[in-house]
Amino acid sequence: MLFFKVRSVTLSSLLLLPLLFFSTPLIAQTPPESDEETSEDLRPNTLLSLEGGEDLMTEATKAIDEGNYDLAKEKLQSARRVFNQLSNFYQQLAGSFQGVNNQVSEEQRQQALQAAEMRDRATYQLALVHRAQKETALAVPLFIQVIRSQNPTSELGKKSYQQLRELGFVKSPFPGN
């Protein structure tokens, strides 16, 4: 921590203080020169989109195929974050439009469900990678998250429960299997 004595403070020195702390180069404040540069950030395959998350999943699958589990974990964790953020954002939008415009609200709710489904798929894949690396303590909570999110009777829920059973975490077979 930096300590210094201030003997006298004048009004003019107080006015200059913000300039010291908040001055940035003008280049950083310059807006894009064309609409094309701005629309680049809004394309569907940006990171904060379903397509961006799917790209991360594809990269993770490629890394798994190549045996690069560390890269696969990184990509799957990123995909989980993207899909989780999207699901939360869409849920917030759906809530905001509920009672105002039910069509918009329902569309956003469907987007939230789709993003949550993709998040759970990424979570399941990440758990499988942890399992392949004998990191059971990391895999088990992820399988449980999938079951809680999806429902134990869904396809992904059943697969997650089966993984827990194979790991010896649960003993009982799933009813009906």
Domain range summary for the chain, segments of one domain joined by +: 50-166
User: Which residue positions in the chain have pLDDT lower than 50?
Assistant: 1-45
What would the two tokens of residue 107 be? 């569309």
Residue 46's pLDDT is 57
Closest CA to 146 of 83, 91, 92: 83
Residue 25's pLDDT is 36
What would the two tokens of residue 5 be? 């004595």
Residue 161's pLDDT is 95
CB atoms within 10 A of CB 129: 23
Residue 102's pLDDT is 87
Residue 141's pLDDT is 97
Amino acid of residue 17: L
Residue 38's pLDDT is 40
Burial of 24 (0-12, 13-18, 19+ CB in 10 A): exposed
